[in-house]
Amino acid sequence: MDIPFNQPYIGEEERSSVAEAVEQDILHGDGPISERVQSFLEGWLQVDHAFLTTSCTHALEMAMITLGIEAGDEVIMPSFTFVSTANAVVLRGANPVFAEIKPDTLNLDPEAVAEKITPRTKAIVPIHYGGVACDMDAFTELAEVHDLFLIEDAAQCVDAYYRGQALGTIGDIGCYSFHDTKNITSGEGGAFLTNDDEIAKRGEIVREKGTNRSAFYRGEVDKYSWVNEGSSYIQSDVLAALLEAQLGKRDEIRRKRKEVWDAYRDALEPLAECGLIELQTIPEYADPNYHLFYLRTNTPEERDELLSALKKSGVQATFHYVPLHSSPYGRNTLNCKADLPVTQRCSETLIRLPLYPQLADQAELIANFVRDVISRNISN
């Protein structure tokens, strides 16, 4: 086998779309293609406002600026997440507070979050790990009771749902990623989503370098000026063209990814039933997008041995996040003292398997090969 960990699903549709974008002589952001894509996202996701951004990282930074997160504030999130979630808070001078995750989904645990709320808490940031929804009813209730903002880090969640509602559209703000490791990609890119008109108004200004230039282009003001803090978070129309082509293939992408995910599940379920590995639970309220497939071993030593065996066999499996609370920056700069044994154990025993549409034609063969490698190495 020779199976890389990831391959973007790019074809002639994307190449043609980008070529047409270059020919139109409008390369900057918020051109006609960006406007089409933003309108499409609003209609498809049933969200009032969608702004394309240069990355999900920048969408998260926009969220913190827009909501007025400032020095001394606390924002609760999992430690098992990408650094962008915490960086968006740290850049405001605020403090990320790390709470425990649930071992069956690796999603933020609402009960653990409740224990972390203090008078300084301003927001909760649930991460929908692998495109599998958190318990958003529980988080919505917590936010309402304690008057907190709810920001969905939905980086992995395009075309994933909670009780039929698109992830990223449930909280005050949702943030998407279109990085080339994601199901739908523009190479680099993201989106900022909200149903709140006032948040959208402020977010639009933050995204446009702190100016009201967008209002000027709509004829709402006679000149634009610097009216707030902000930065340059607008995605190029060229990348929006790539994204538009990808969105046109969204059903095909989801179907093919599901074929691979199902093949892994079917092949590895017997090993899970024997207690050799653990597999992710999909709650009844979650409709995932099959962004990733992971398994967990019983010990860190088994994980390392199995990763090595898979790679030697040509399957480029990998681990995932080093928990932020135990990272060098978390320990040494943020002085984190969090005790998160579930997070630590999940991080140390997790293996992600390759999953992308190009594997669908050989999904069963690949899954059975992976099963045999795992069975041979763990059972020994």
* Paired sense of beta strands 173-177 and 165-166, if any: unpaired
> Which tens digit of pLDDT belongs to each residue from 55-102?
999 999 999 999 999 999 999 999 999 999 999 999 999 999 999 999
Answer whether 192's CB lies under 8 Å from 200's CB.
Answer: no
The CATH architecture that domain 12-248 belongs to is: 3-Layer(aba) Sandwich (3.40)
Give per-residue pLDDT as tens, 280-333: 999 999 999 999 999 999 999 999 999 999 999 999 999 998 999 999 999 999
- pLDDT number for residue 29: 85
Ranges of H-type helices in the chain = 12-23, 32-45, 56-66, 83-90, 110-116, 136-146, 197-207, 213-217, 237-248, 250-273, 300-312, 328, 341-349, 363-379
Number of neighbours of residue 120 by Cβ within 10 angstroms:
12
Pairing type for strands 293-296 and 350-353 reads antiparallel
Distance CA 271, CA 256 (A): 24
Q: What is the pLDDT of residue 319?
A: 92
Could you report the per-residue pLDDT of 174-188, keeping only the tens digit for each? Answer: 999 999 999 999 999
The domain ranges of the chain are 12-248, 250-379
User: What pLDDT band is residue 379 in, cutting at 50, 70 and 90?
Assistant: low
Report the relative pairing of strands 74-78 and 121-124 from DSSP bridges: parallel
Q: What's the pLDDT band for 218 if we cut at 50, 70, 90?
A: confident
CATH of domain 250-379: 3.90.1150.10
